[in-house]
Amino acid sequence: MKIRLWKDRWIRRAFFALLILTLSVIAFIGIGLTIKALPLLEDQSLFSILTQSIWSPLKGKFGFLPFIMGTVWVTVIALAIAVPLCIMASLYLVEYASDRLRNTVLPLMNVLAAIPPVLYGVWGVLFVVPLIADYIAPFFGSSTSGYSVLSGGIVLAVMIFPIMISIMVEVLQTIPAELKSASLSLGATKWETIQKVIIKKARPGLLAAVVLAISRAFGETIAVLMVCGNIPQVPKSLFDAGYPIPALIANNFGEMMSIPRYDAALMFAALLLLVIIFGFNLISRVILNKLEEKV
Amino acid sequence: MSTIKSRLRKEKIAKLFMQFAGISITGSLFLIIGIILFKGLPFLSWEMISQVPQGGFYIGKEGGILNAILGSLYLAGLSTVLACLLGIPIAIYLNIYTNQSAALVRASRLLFDVLFGIPSIVYGAIAFSIMVWLGIRASLLGGVITITLLTIPIVVRTLDELLKTTPLDLKNITTSLGATKWETAQVLLKYIKPGIFTAVLLAFGRAIGDVAGVLLTTGFSDNLPLYIDEPAATLPLAIFFQLSSPIPEVQGRAYASALILTFVILFIVICTHILASKQKKHKL
Protein backbone atom coordinates (compact mmCIF):
# COMPACT_ATOMS: atom_id res chain seq x y z
CA MET A 1 0.00 0.00 0.00
CA LYS A 2 2.76 2.37 0.96
CA ILE A 3 4.53 1.71 -2.30
CA ARG A 4 1.39 2.52 -4.28
CA LEU A 5 0.86 5.83 -2.50
CA TRP A 6 4.52 6.66 -2.82
CA LYS A 7 4.37 5.93 -6.54
CA ASP A 8 1.26 8.06 -6.91
CA ARG A 9 2.86 10.99 -5.14
CA TRP A 10 6.00 10.92 -7.24
CA ILE A 11 4.03 10.58 -10.45
CA ARG A 12 2.00 13.62 -9.48
CA ARG A 13 5.16 15.62 -8.89
CA ALA A 14 6.77 14.47 -12.12
CA PHE A 15 3.68 15.26 -14.19
CA PHE A 16 3.36 18.66 -12.58
CA ALA A 17 6.98 19.39 -13.40
CA LEU A 18 6.36 18.42 -17.03
CA LEU A 19 3.39 20.77 -17.22
CA ILE A 20 5.37 23.70 -15.85
CA LEU A 21 8.34 22.87 -18.05
CA THR A 22 6.22 22.86 -21.19
CA LEU A 23 4.37 26.03 -20.33
CA SER A 24 7.56 27.85 -19.47
CA VAL A 25 8.70 27.25 -23.04
CA ILE A 26 6.41 30.04 -24.18
CA ALA A 27 7.90 32.47 -21.67
CA PHE A 28 11.34 31.28 -22.67
CA ILE A 29 10.64 31.93 -26.35
CA GLY A 30 9.31 35.39 -25.62
CA ILE A 31 12.26 36.37 -23.45
CA GLY A 32 14.79 34.87 -25.85
CA LEU A 33 13.36 36.73 -28.82
CA THR A 34 13.23 40.00 -26.90
CA ILE A 35 16.88 39.74 -25.84
CA LYS A 36 17.92 38.93 -29.39
CA ALA A 37 15.81 41.72 -30.89
CA LEU A 38 16.92 44.47 -28.50
CA PRO A 39 20.13 45.47 -30.36
CA LEU A 40 17.95 46.65 -33.23
CA LEU A 41 16.29 49.20 -30.99
CA GLU A 42 19.63 50.74 -30.03
CA ASP A 43 19.98 52.94 -33.06
CA GLN A 44 16.39 53.12 -34.31
CA SER A 45 13.25 53.88 -32.39
CA LEU A 46 10.41 51.38 -32.39
CA PHE A 47 8.24 53.83 -34.27
CA SER A 48 10.72 54.35 -37.09
CA ILE A 49 11.30 50.60 -37.45
CA LEU A 50 7.60 50.02 -37.87
CA THR A 51 6.95 52.92 -40.24
CA GLN A 52 10.09 53.18 -42.40
CA SER A 53 9.82 51.54 -45.78
CA ILE A 54 13.50 51.20 -46.72
CA TRP A 55 14.84 47.70 -46.23
CA SER A 56 18.54 47.64 -46.86
CA PRO A 57 20.40 45.41 -44.40
CA LEU A 58 23.82 46.22 -45.87
CA LYS A 59 23.35 49.88 -45.04
CA GLY A 60 21.88 49.03 -41.68
CA LYS A 61 18.41 50.22 -42.61
CA PHE A 62 15.60 48.05 -41.36
CA GLY A 63 12.20 49.49 -42.19
CA PHE A 64 9.44 46.96 -41.58
CA LEU A 65 6.63 48.78 -43.32
CA PRO A 66 6.77 46.79 -46.61
CA PHE A 67 6.56 43.52 -44.69
CA ILE A 68 3.84 44.68 -42.35
CA MET A 69 1.85 45.96 -45.31
CA GLY A 70 2.52 42.73 -47.21
CA THR A 71 1.12 40.73 -44.33
CA VAL A 72 -1.85 43.07 -43.95
CA TRP A 73 -2.71 42.95 -47.66
CA VAL A 74 -2.55 39.18 -47.85
CA THR A 75 -4.56 38.77 -44.66
CA VAL A 76 -7.24 41.26 -45.63
CA ILE A 77 -7.69 39.66 -49.06
CA ALA A 78 -7.91 36.23 -47.49
CA LEU A 79 -10.52 37.43 -45.00
CA ALA A 80 -12.53 39.26 -47.66
CA ILE A 81 -12.83 35.97 -49.53
CA ALA A 82 -13.13 33.55 -46.66
CA VAL A 83 -15.33 35.29 -44.09
CA PRO A 84 -18.52 35.69 -46.19
CA LEU A 85 -18.13 32.25 -47.75
CA CYS A 86 -17.55 30.57 -44.41
CA ILE A 87 -20.42 32.30 -42.64
CA MET A 88 -22.81 31.41 -45.46
CA ALA A 89 -21.58 27.84 -45.69
CA SER A 90 -21.75 27.21 -41.95
CA LEU A 91 -25.24 28.75 -41.80
CA TYR A 92 -26.29 26.37 -44.54
CA LEU A 93 -24.71 23.40 -42.81
CA VAL A 94 -26.39 24.17 -39.48
CA GLU A 95 -29.77 25.55 -40.56
CA TYR A 96 -30.63 23.86 -43.85
CA ALA A 97 -28.46 20.82 -44.48
CA SER A 98 -29.54 17.30 -43.60
CA ASP A 99 -27.54 15.38 -41.02
CA ARG A 100 -26.15 13.26 -43.79
CA LEU A 101 -24.78 16.22 -45.73
CA ARG A 102 -23.33 17.72 -42.56
CA ASN A 103 -21.65 14.47 -41.62
CA THR A 104 -20.09 14.30 -45.08
CA VAL A 105 -18.88 17.88 -45.32
CA LEU A 106 -17.41 18.33 -41.84
CA PRO A 107 -14.95 15.40 -42.15
CA LEU A 108 -13.93 16.84 -45.53
CA MET A 109 -13.04 20.03 -43.69
CA ASN A 110 -10.75 17.94 -41.48
CA VAL A 111 -9.02 16.72 -44.64
CA LEU A 112 -8.58 20.31 -45.78
CA ALA A 113 -7.14 21.18 -42.37
CA ALA A 114 -4.70 18.27 -42.55
CA ILE A 115 -3.22 19.24 -45.91
CA PRO A 116 0.27 20.61 -45.21
CA PRO A 117 1.07 24.23 -46.14
CA VAL A 118 3.58 23.21 -48.77
CA LEU A 119 0.86 21.43 -50.75
CA TYR A 120 -1.26 24.57 -50.66
CA GLY A 121 1.81 26.33 -52.00
CA VAL A 122 2.18 23.82 -54.84
CA TRP A 123 -1.50 24.26 -55.65
CA GLY A 124 -1.04 28.01 -55.59
CA VAL A 125 1.89 27.86 -58.02
CA LEU A 126 0.16 25.40 -60.35
CA PHE A 127 -3.33 26.84 -60.32
CA VAL A 128 -3.83 30.23 -58.67
CA VAL A 129 -0.76 32.00 -60.07
CA PRO A 130 -1.42 31.07 -63.74
CA LEU A 131 -5.11 31.80 -63.26
CA ILE A 132 -4.32 35.33 -62.14
CA ALA A 133 -1.60 35.95 -64.72
CA ASP A 134 -3.60 34.60 -67.67
CA TYR A 135 -7.21 35.44 -66.86
CA ILE A 136 -7.93 37.64 -63.88
CA ALA A 137 -5.25 40.35 -64.34
CA PRO A 138 -5.82 40.81 -68.11
CA PHE A 139 -9.53 41.06 -67.38
CA PHE A 140 -8.82 44.09 -65.22
CA GLY A 141 -6.42 45.44 -67.79
CA SER A 142 -3.16 44.94 -65.94
CA SER A 143 -0.34 42.52 -66.51
CA THR A 144 1.41 40.58 -63.78
CA SER A 145 3.52 37.48 -63.35
CA GLY A 146 0.76 36.16 -61.12
CA TYR A 147 3.04 36.08 -58.09
CA SER A 148 1.09 38.71 -56.19
CA VAL A 149 -0.64 39.51 -52.93
CA LEU A 150 -3.89 38.36 -54.55
CA SER A 151 -2.47 34.86 -55.10
CA GLY A 152 -1.26 34.83 -51.51
CA GLY A 153 -4.69 35.95 -50.32
CA ILE A 154 -6.53 33.28 -52.28
CA VAL A 155 -4.27 30.47 -51.10
CA LEU A 156 -4.52 31.75 -47.55
CA ALA A 157 -8.31 32.00 -47.79
CA VAL A 158 -8.53 28.31 -48.63
CA MET A 159 -6.14 27.53 -45.78
CA ILE A 160 -8.34 29.28 -43.21
CA PHE A 161 -11.60 27.72 -44.46
CA PRO A 162 -11.42 24.66 -42.20
CA ILE A 163 -10.65 26.47 -38.94
CA MET A 164 -13.42 29.02 -39.57
CA ILE A 165 -16.02 26.48 -40.67
CA SER A 166 -15.41 24.15 -37.76
CA ILE A 167 -15.61 26.90 -35.15
CA MET A 168 -18.52 28.72 -36.80
CA VAL A 169 -20.55 25.52 -37.06
CA GLU A 170 -19.90 24.84 -33.40
CA VAL A 171 -20.91 28.38 -32.45
CA LEU A 172 -24.09 28.26 -34.54
CA GLN A 173 -25.07 24.96 -33.00
CA THR A 174 -25.09 26.57 -29.56
CA ILE A 175 -27.90 28.98 -30.52
CA PRO A 176 -30.95 27.85 -28.52
CA ALA A 177 -33.72 26.30 -30.64
CA GLU A 178 -36.37 28.29 -28.70
CA LEU A 179 -35.05 31.55 -30.09
CA LYS A 180 -35.33 30.26 -33.63
CA SER A 181 -38.76 28.80 -33.05
CA ALA A 182 -39.99 32.06 -31.55
CA SER A 183 -38.84 34.00 -34.58
CA LEU A 184 -40.22 31.45 -37.05
CA SER A 185 -43.57 31.26 -35.29
CA LEU A 186 -43.93 35.03 -35.65
CA GLY A 187 -43.95 34.46 -39.38
CA ALA A 188 -40.36 35.30 -40.22
CA THR A 189 -38.79 33.35 -43.04
CA LYS A 190 -35.73 31.28 -42.27
CA TRP A 191 -33.47 33.85 -43.89
CA GLU A 192 -35.00 36.64 -41.82
CA THR A 193 -34.50 34.56 -38.70
CA ILE A 194 -30.88 34.07 -39.67
CA GLN A 195 -30.33 37.76 -40.26
CA LYS A 196 -32.14 39.12 -37.27
CA VAL A 197 -31.80 36.44 -34.62
CA ILE A 198 -29.08 33.92 -35.29
CA ILE A 199 -26.37 36.24 -36.58
CA LYS A 200 -26.98 38.67 -33.73
CA LYS A 201 -26.81 35.98 -31.11
CA ALA A 202 -23.77 34.30 -32.67
CA ARG A 203 -21.80 37.48 -33.27
CA PRO A 204 -19.15 37.09 -30.51
CA GLY A 205 -18.49 33.50 -31.52
CA LEU A 206 -18.25 34.32 -35.20
CA LEU A 207 -15.91 37.16 -34.34
CA ALA A 208 -13.72 34.81 -32.32
CA ALA A 209 -13.53 32.45 -35.28
CA VAL A 210 -12.45 35.30 -37.53
CA VAL A 211 -9.81 36.50 -35.08
CA LEU A 212 -8.44 32.99 -34.78
CA ALA A 213 -8.30 32.77 -38.56
CA ILE A 214 -6.44 36.09 -38.71
CA SER A 215 -3.76 34.83 -36.39
CA ARG A 216 -3.45 31.69 -38.48
CA ALA A 217 -3.09 33.84 -41.58
CA PHE A 218 -0.44 36.06 -40.00
CA GLY A 219 1.86 33.19 -39.23
CA GLU A 220 1.48 31.21 -42.41
CA THR A 221 4.89 31.00 -43.99
CA ILE A 222 5.68 28.65 -46.75
CA ALA A 223 2.48 28.62 -48.80
CA VAL A 224 2.38 32.40 -48.96
CA LEU A 225 6.10 32.66 -49.61
CA MET A 226 5.73 30.41 -52.65
CA VAL A 227 3.09 32.54 -54.39
CA CYS A 228 3.62 36.08 -53.14
CA GLY A 229 6.55 37.26 -55.21
CA ASN A 230 8.68 38.36 -52.25
CA ILE A 231 9.70 41.86 -53.30
CA PRO A 232 10.24 44.24 -50.37
CA GLN A 233 7.86 46.97 -51.45
CA VAL A 234 4.59 48.31 -50.14
CA PRO A 235 1.98 46.69 -52.43
CA LYS A 236 -0.23 49.23 -54.18
CA SER A 237 -2.66 46.97 -55.97
CA LEU A 238 -3.98 43.42 -55.81
CA PHE A 239 -1.58 42.37 -58.55
CA ASP A 240 1.60 43.72 -56.94
CA ALA A 241 4.06 41.38 -55.34
CA GLY A 242 4.27 41.52 -51.56
CA TYR A 243 6.60 40.22 -48.89
CA PRO A 244 4.89 39.08 -45.69
CA ILE A 245 6.80 38.94 -42.39
CA PRO A 246 7.05 35.13 -42.05
CA ALA A 247 8.46 34.89 -45.57
CA LEU A 248 11.07 37.46 -44.61
CA ILE A 249 12.25 35.32 -41.72
CA ALA A 250 12.27 32.10 -43.73
CA ASN A 251 14.09 33.54 -46.72
CA ASN A 252 16.88 35.37 -44.96
CA PHE A 253 18.00 33.16 -42.15
CA GLY A 254 20.91 31.75 -44.08
CA GLU A 255 22.67 35.05 -44.68
CA MET A 256 21.83 36.95 -41.55
CA MET A 257 24.99 36.00 -39.67
CA SER A 258 27.35 37.96 -41.87
CA ILE A 259 25.60 41.34 -41.63
CA PRO A 260 25.50 43.27 -38.34
CA ARG A 261 22.08 43.83 -36.78
CA TYR A 262 20.50 41.58 -39.42
CA ASP A 263 19.84 38.80 -36.94
CA ALA A 264 18.37 41.30 -34.50
CA ALA A 265 16.04 42.54 -37.24
CA LEU A 266 14.84 39.04 -38.08
CA MET A 267 14.37 38.21 -34.42
CA PHE A 268 12.37 41.39 -34.11
CA ALA A 269 10.19 40.14 -36.96
CA ALA A 270 9.66 36.84 -35.15
CA LEU A 271 8.88 38.68 -31.92
CA LEU A 272 6.37 40.87 -33.73
CA LEU A 273 4.61 37.77 -35.06
CA LEU A 274 4.67 36.09 -31.67
CA VAL A 275 3.19 39.08 -29.86
CA ILE A 276 0.43 39.73 -32.41
CA ILE A 277 -0.56 36.09 -32.74
CA PHE A 278 -0.38 35.44 -29.02
CA GLY A 279 -2.65 38.41 -28.37
CA PHE A 280 -5.17 37.52 -31.05
CA ASN A 281 -5.30 33.89 -30.02
CA LEU A 282 -5.76 34.81 -26.40
CA ILE A 283 -8.67 37.14 -27.16
CA SER A 284 -10.55 34.67 -29.32
CA ARG A 285 -9.96 31.74 -26.97
CA VAL A 286 -11.27 33.72 -24.03
CA ILE A 287 -14.42 34.61 -25.99
CA LEU A 288 -14.92 31.00 -27.11
CA ASN A 289 -14.35 29.61 -23.61
CA LYS A 290 -16.95 31.99 -22.22
CA LEU A 291 -19.46 30.90 -24.83
CA GLU A 292 -18.77 27.26 -24.05
CA GLU A 293 -19.35 27.81 -20.36
CA LYS A 294 -22.72 29.42 -21.03
CA VAL A 295 -24.07 26.36 -22.80
CA MET B 1 -43.41 45.31 -44.87
CA SER B 2 -42.72 43.78 -48.20
CA THR B 3 -45.00 41.20 -49.66
CA ILE B 4 -44.67 37.56 -48.80
CA LYS B 5 -43.63 36.83 -52.36
CA SER B 6 -40.58 39.05 -52.31
CA ARG B 7 -39.64 37.79 -48.88
CA LEU B 8 -39.78 34.22 -50.09
CA ARG B 9 -37.77 35.19 -53.16
CA LYS B 10 -35.10 36.65 -50.87
CA GLU B 11 -35.10 33.42 -48.94
CA LYS B 12 -34.49 31.49 -52.14
CA ILE B 13 -31.66 33.76 -53.26
CA ALA B 14 -29.98 33.59 -49.85
CA LYS B 15 -30.23 29.84 -49.91
CA LEU B 16 -28.63 29.74 -53.34
CA PHE B 17 -25.76 31.88 -52.08
CA MET B 18 -25.25 29.59 -49.13
CA GLN B 19 -25.21 26.55 -51.36
CA PHE B 20 -22.72 28.24 -53.62
CA ALA B 21 -20.49 29.05 -50.61
CA GLY B 22 -20.66 25.47 -49.41
CA ILE B 23 -19.90 24.06 -52.81
CA SER B 24 -16.95 26.37 -53.44
CA ILE B 25 -15.42 25.55 -50.06
CA THR B 26 -15.78 21.80 -50.44
CA GLY B 27 -14.81 22.14 -54.08
CA SER B 28 -11.50 23.78 -53.18
CA LEU B 29 -10.45 20.58 -51.44
CA PHE B 30 -11.10 18.48 -54.54
CA LEU B 31 -9.47 21.14 -56.70
CA ILE B 32 -6.27 20.98 -54.66
CA ILE B 33 -6.08 17.20 -54.60
CA GLY B 34 -7.18 17.00 -58.23
CA ILE B 35 -4.52 19.40 -59.49
CA ILE B 36 -1.73 17.70 -57.57
CA LEU B 37 -2.93 14.29 -58.78
CA PHE B 38 -3.20 15.49 -62.37
CA LYS B 39 0.25 17.10 -62.41
CA GLY B 40 2.07 14.60 -60.25
CA LEU B 41 0.85 11.28 -61.55
CA PRO B 42 2.80 11.33 -64.87
CA PHE B 43 6.05 11.87 -62.98
CA LEU B 44 5.48 9.30 -60.28
CA SER B 45 7.76 6.31 -60.62
CA TRP B 46 9.21 3.54 -58.52
CA GLU B 47 12.58 5.19 -58.86
CA MET B 48 11.23 8.28 -57.09
CA ILE B 49 10.54 6.45 -53.86
CA SER B 50 13.29 3.86 -53.89
CA GLN B 51 16.46 5.84 -54.59
CA VAL B 52 18.41 8.69 -53.10
CA PRO B 53 19.43 11.61 -55.35
CA GLN B 54 22.27 10.61 -57.66
CA GLY B 55 24.80 13.01 -59.15
CA GLY B 56 23.03 15.64 -61.22
CA PHE B 57 19.64 14.93 -59.63
CA TYR B 58 18.89 18.59 -59.36
CA ILE B 59 19.46 19.17 -63.03
CA GLY B 60 17.04 16.42 -63.94
CA LYS B 61 19.22 13.28 -63.89
CA GLU B 62 18.77 9.96 -62.07
CA GLY B 63 17.59 9.53 -58.56
CA GLY B 64 14.67 9.73 -56.19
CA ILE B 65 13.63 11.24 -52.92
CA LEU B 66 13.99 8.27 -50.59
CA ASN B 67 16.24 10.44 -48.41
CA ALA B 68 13.45 12.97 -47.92
CA ILE B 69 10.75 10.35 -47.34
CA LEU B 70 12.84 8.59 -44.71
CA GLY B 71 13.96 11.89 -43.20
CA SER B 72 10.38 13.03 -42.81
CA LEU B 73 9.26 9.71 -41.33
CA TYR B 74 12.13 9.76 -38.81
CA LEU B 75 11.53 13.38 -37.92
CA ALA B 76 7.77 13.06 -37.56
CA GLY B 77 8.05 9.68 -35.81
CA LEU B 78 10.61 10.81 -33.26
CA SER B 79 8.91 14.08 -32.47
CA THR B 80 5.51 12.41 -32.17
CA VAL B 81 6.95 9.92 -29.68
CA LEU B 82 8.54 12.75 -27.70
CA ALA B 83 5.37 14.83 -27.83
CA CYS B 84 3.37 11.88 -26.48
CA LEU B 85 5.87 11.19 -23.73
CA LEU B 86 5.46 14.78 -22.58
CA GLY B 87 1.85 15.36 -23.59
CA ILE B 88 0.07 12.30 -22.20
CA PRO B 89 1.31 12.87 -18.63
CA ILE B 90 0.33 16.53 -18.85
CA ALA B 91 -3.18 15.66 -20.04
CA ILE B 92 -3.50 13.13 -17.22
CA TYR B 93 -2.28 15.66 -14.69
CA LEU B 94 -4.75 18.29 -15.86
CA ASN B 95 -7.69 15.90 -15.69
CA ILE B 96 -7.07 13.52 -12.84
CA TYR B 97 -4.68 15.06 -10.38
CA THR B 98 -6.16 18.51 -10.14
CA ASN B 99 -9.30 20.30 -9.14
CA GLN B 100 -11.04 21.12 -12.42
CA SER B 101 -11.90 24.68 -11.47
CA ALA B 102 -8.41 25.57 -10.24
CA ALA B 103 -6.90 28.64 -11.83
CA LEU B 104 -3.80 26.70 -12.84
CA VAL B 105 -5.82 24.18 -14.83
CA ARG B 106 -7.89 26.78 -16.64
CA ALA B 107 -4.85 28.90 -17.38
CA SER B 108 -2.91 25.89 -18.68
CA ARG B 109 -5.74 24.89 -21.01
CA LEU B 110 -5.92 28.42 -22.34
CA LEU B 111 -2.17 28.56 -22.80
CA PHE B 112 -2.07 25.27 -24.68
CA ASP B 113 -4.81 26.55 -26.96
CA VAL B 114 -2.78 29.66 -27.61
CA LEU B 115 0.44 27.68 -28.10
CA PHE B 116 -1.39 25.61 -30.69
CA GLY B 117 -1.79 28.78 -32.74
CA ILE B 118 1.85 29.95 -32.62
CA PRO B 119 3.26 29.52 -36.12
CA SER B 120 6.12 27.12 -36.65
CA ILE B 121 8.36 29.82 -38.10
CA VAL B 122 8.56 31.41 -34.63
CA TYR B 123 9.59 28.10 -33.07
CA GLY B 124 12.04 27.63 -35.91
CA ALA B 125 13.54 31.08 -35.46
CA ILE B 126 14.13 30.70 -31.74
CA ALA B 127 15.43 27.13 -32.09
CA PHE B 128 17.79 28.25 -34.81
CA SER B 129 19.27 31.06 -32.74
CA ILE B 130 19.68 28.74 -29.75
CA MET B 131 21.49 26.29 -31.99
CA VAL B 132 23.76 29.04 -33.30
CA TRP B 133 24.40 30.18 -29.75
CA LEU B 134 25.33 26.66 -28.64
CA GLY B 135 27.35 26.08 -31.79
CA ILE B 136 25.21 23.19 -33.03
CA ARG B 137 24.72 22.94 -36.77
CA ALA B 138 21.42 22.16 -38.44
CA SER B 139 20.57 18.55 -37.72
CA LEU B 140 17.80 16.01 -37.39
CA LEU B 141 17.94 16.52 -33.62
CA GLY B 142 17.28 20.26 -33.93
CA GLY B 143 14.31 19.54 -36.15
CA VAL B 144 12.95 16.91 -33.78
CA ILE B 145 13.07 19.32 -30.83
CA THR B 146 11.39 22.12 -32.78
CA ILE B 147 8.64 19.89 -34.13
CA THR B 148 8.09 18.35 -30.70
CA LEU B 149 7.34 21.80 -29.30
CA LEU B 150 4.94 22.28 -32.18
CA THR B 151 3.06 19.02 -31.58
CA ILE B 152 2.82 18.95 -27.76
CA PRO B 153 -0.21 21.30 -27.69
CA ILE B 154 -2.01 19.05 -30.20
CA VAL B 155 -1.48 15.94 -28.08
CA VAL B 156 -2.37 17.69 -24.83
CA ARG B 157 -5.55 19.37 -26.07
CA THR B 158 -6.87 16.32 -27.97
CA LEU B 159 -6.36 14.00 -25.00
CA ASP B 160 -7.65 16.61 -22.60
CA GLU B 161 -10.95 16.87 -24.48
CA LEU B 162 -11.19 13.08 -24.58
CA LEU B 163 -10.48 12.65 -20.89
CA LYS B 164 -13.14 15.24 -20.14
CA THR B 165 -15.72 13.05 -21.88
CA THR B 166 -14.96 9.93 -19.84
CA PRO B 167 -17.93 9.11 -17.61
CA LEU B 168 -17.56 10.37 -14.09
CA ASP B 169 -18.87 7.02 -12.82
CA LEU B 170 -15.83 5.25 -14.17
CA LYS B 171 -13.57 7.60 -12.28
CA ASN B 172 -15.60 7.34 -9.09
CA ILE B 173 -15.84 3.56 -9.21
CA THR B 174 -12.11 3.06 -9.60
CA THR B 175 -11.44 5.52 -6.79
CA SER B 176 -14.00 3.89 -4.50
CA LEU B 177 -12.35 0.52 -5.04
CA GLY B 178 -9.30 2.01 -3.41
CA ALA B 179 -7.27 2.83 -6.50
CA THR B 180 -4.75 5.62 -6.32
CA LYS B 181 -5.05 8.41 -8.85
CA TRP B 182 -2.33 6.88 -10.98
CA GLU B 183 -4.24 3.58 -11.11
CA THR B 184 -7.41 5.48 -12.04
CA ALA B 185 -5.46 7.19 -14.79
CA GLN B 186 -4.42 3.80 -16.18
CA VAL B 187 -8.05 2.69 -16.33
CA LEU B 188 -9.13 5.90 -18.04
CA LEU B 189 -6.29 5.66 -20.55
CA LYS B 190 -7.52 2.22 -21.53
CA TYR B 191 -10.97 3.69 -22.01
CA ILE B 192 -9.77 6.38 -24.42
CA LYS B 193 -7.27 4.15 -26.25
CA PRO B 194 -8.59 4.78 -29.79
CA GLY B 195 -8.53 8.48 -28.99
CA ILE B 196 -4.87 8.31 -28.07
CA PHE B 197 -4.09 6.95 -31.52
CA THR B 198 -6.11 9.80 -33.00
CA ALA B 199 -3.99 12.31 -31.11
CA VAL B 200 -0.84 10.52 -32.24
CA LEU B 201 -1.96 10.62 -35.87
CA LEU B 202 -2.93 14.28 -35.68
CA ALA B 203 0.46 15.14 -34.25
CA PHE B 204 2.21 12.99 -36.84
CA GLY B 205 0.30 14.64 -39.66
CA ARG B 206 1.21 18.11 -38.47
CA ALA B 207 4.83 17.06 -37.95
CA ILE B 208 5.30 15.49 -41.36
CA GLY B 209 3.84 18.46 -43.20
CA ASP B 210 5.67 21.26 -41.48
CA VAL B 211 8.22 23.28 -43.43
CA ALA B 212 8.89 26.53 -41.63
CA GLY B 213 10.12 24.78 -38.48
CA VAL B 214 12.49 22.41 -40.24
CA LEU B 215 13.70 24.90 -42.84
CA LEU B 216 15.93 26.60 -40.29
CA THR B 217 16.76 23.73 -37.97
CA THR B 218 17.07 20.50 -39.92
CA GLY B 219 18.92 21.57 -43.04
CA PHE B 220 18.95 19.34 -46.08
CA SER B 221 21.02 16.40 -47.20
CA ASP B 222 21.15 14.05 -50.15
CA ASN B 223 22.20 11.13 -47.98
CA LEU B 224 19.96 8.78 -46.09
CA PRO B 225 19.49 10.09 -42.56
CA LEU B 226 21.65 7.77 -40.44
CA TYR B 227 22.73 9.90 -37.50
CA ILE B 228 20.66 12.24 -35.40
CA ASP B 229 23.31 14.97 -35.32
CA GLU B 230 23.49 15.33 -39.09
CA PRO B 231 21.30 17.39 -41.40
CA ALA B 232 18.43 15.45 -42.91
CA ALA B 233 16.13 15.99 -45.86
CA THR B 234 12.39 16.28 -45.34
CA LEU B 235 9.64 15.71 -47.85
CA PRO B 236 8.00 19.18 -47.74
CA LEU B 237 11.39 20.85 -48.11
CA ALA B 238 12.26 18.56 -51.02
CA ILE B 239 9.04 19.66 -52.71
CA PHE B 240 9.83 23.29 -52.02
CA PHE B 241 13.40 23.13 -53.36
CA GLN B 242 12.55 21.13 -56.46
CA LEU B 243 9.63 23.39 -57.32
CA SER B 244 11.85 26.46 -57.33
CA SER B 245 14.10 24.86 -59.95
CA PRO B 246 13.73 26.13 -63.53
CA ILE B 247 14.26 22.67 -65.05
CA PRO B 248 11.00 20.94 -66.06
CA GLU B 249 12.09 17.42 -65.00
CA VAL B 250 12.96 18.65 -61.54
CA GLN B 251 9.68 20.53 -61.28
CA GLY B 252 7.89 17.38 -62.37
CA ARG B 253 9.54 15.53 -59.55
CA ALA B 254 8.30 18.25 -57.20
CA TYR B 255 4.74 17.48 -58.34
CA ALA B 256 5.33 13.78 -57.84
CA SER B 257 6.78 14.42 -54.39
CA ALA B 258 3.74 16.54 -53.57
CA LEU B 259 1.57 13.63 -54.65
CA ILE B 260 3.47 11.27 -52.35
CA LEU B 261 2.98 13.68 -49.44
CA THR B 262 -0.72 13.93 -50.31
CA PHE B 263 -1.05 10.14 -50.16
CA VAL B 264 0.66 10.06 -46.77
CA ILE B 265 -1.65 12.76 -45.43
CA LEU B 266 -4.81 11.17 -46.85
CA PHE B 267 -3.78 7.84 -45.34
CA ILE B 268 -3.36 9.52 -41.96
CA VAL B 269 -6.70 11.33 -42.24
CA ILE B 270 -8.57 8.15 -43.14
CA CYS B 271 -6.99 6.28 -40.22
CA THR B 272 -7.94 9.14 -37.88
CA HIS B 273 -11.50 9.07 -39.14
CA ILE B 274 -11.82 5.32 -38.60
CA LEU B 275 -10.36 5.59 -35.11
CA ALA B 276 -12.61 8.49 -34.22
CA SER B 277 -15.73 6.55 -35.18
CA LYS B 278 -14.40 3.62 -33.17
CA GLN B 279 -14.12 5.87 -30.13
CA LYS B 280 -17.71 6.94 -30.67
CA LYS B 281 -18.90 3.34 -30.68
CA HIS B 282 -16.81 2.74 -27.62
CA LYS B 283 -18.80 5.36 -25.80
CA LEU B 284 -22.22 3.74 -26.23
CATH code at position B268: 1.10.3720.10
Q: Could you say which of A16, A105, A125 has the minimum Cβ distance to residue B26?
A: A105
**Comparing A8-12, A49-53, A270-274, which segment has the lowest mean pLDDT?**
A49-53
State residue A257's pLDDT score: 65
- Does residue B129 share a domain with residue B234? yes
Q: Which positions in chain A touch B122 (Cβ < 8 Å)?
A: 29, 33, 219, 270, 273-274, 277
- Does residue B132 share a domain with residue B63? yes
State residue B284's pLDDT score: 45
Q: Which positions in chain B touch A96 (Cβ < 8 Å)?
A: 15, 18
CB atoms within 10 A of CB A27: 10
- Does residue B182 share a domain with residue B75? yes
- Does residue B26 share a domain with residue B91? no
- Does residue B117 share a domain with residue B148? yes
- Does residue B150 share a domain with residue B25? no
Q: Could you say which of A253, A257, A281 has the minimum Cβ distance to residue B114?
A: A281
State residue B263 phi and psi, 5-degree precision: -60, -45
Q: Mean pLDDT across the stretch A33-43?
A: 82
Q: Is residue B152 within 8 angstroms of chain A, CB to CB? A: yes
CB contact under 8 A, B273 and A107: yes
- Does residue B115 share a domain with residue B29? no
| Banded pLDDT at A158 (limits 50, 70, 90) | very high
CB atoms within 10 A of CB B280: 10
Which of B:237-276 have CB within 8 Å of A? 239-240, 243, 254-255, 258, 261-262, 265-266, 268-269, 272-273
- Does residue B76 share a domain with residue B12? no
- Does residue B53 share a domain with residue B142? yes
Q: Which positions in chain B touch A92 (Cβ < 8 Å)?
A: 15, 18-19, 21-22
Q: Is it the case that residue A256 has pLDDT exceeding 70?
A: no
| Mean pLDDT score of chain B | 85
CA–CA gap between residue A174 and residue A163 (Å, rounded): 17
Q: Mean pLDDT across the stretch A8-28?
A: 88
Do B80 and B272 touch, CB atoms closer than 8 A?
no
Q: Which residue of A has its CA nearest to B146?
A: A25
Convert the pLDDT of each residue in A72-91 to its tens digit: 999 999 999 999 999 999 99
Do B78 and B232 touch, CB atoms closer than 8 A?
no
Q: Could you say which of A93, A192, A246 has the minimum Cβ distance to residue B121?
A: A246
- Does residue B259 share a domain with residue B238? yes
| Banded pLDDT at A107 (limits 50, 70, 90) | confident
CB contact under 8 A, B117 and A215: yes
Domain count, chain B: 2
Distances (CA, A) of B143 to A176, A188, A206, B166: 47, 57, 36, 35
CA–CA gap between residue A256 and residue A105 (Å, rounded): 45
Q: Residue B172: helix, strand or coil by DSSP? A: helix
- Does residue B38 share a domain with residue B81? no
| Banded pLDDT at A238 (limits 50, 70, 90) | confident
Q: Could you say which of A18, A118, A158 has the minimum Cβ distance to residue B86?
A: A18
Distances (CA, A) of B82 to A217, A245, B109, B121, B215: 28, 30, 20, 20, 20
The boundaries of the domain holding residue B140 are: 48-283
- Does residue B29 share a domain with residue B90? no
Q: Which positions in chain B touch A80 (Cβ < 8 Å)?
A: none
Walk me through the domains of chain A, giving residue ranges and CATH numbers: 50-294 (1.10.3720.10)
Q: Which residues contact B172 (CB under 8 A, 6 or more apart)?
A: none
Q: Which positions in chain B touch A130 (Cβ < 8 Å)?
A: none
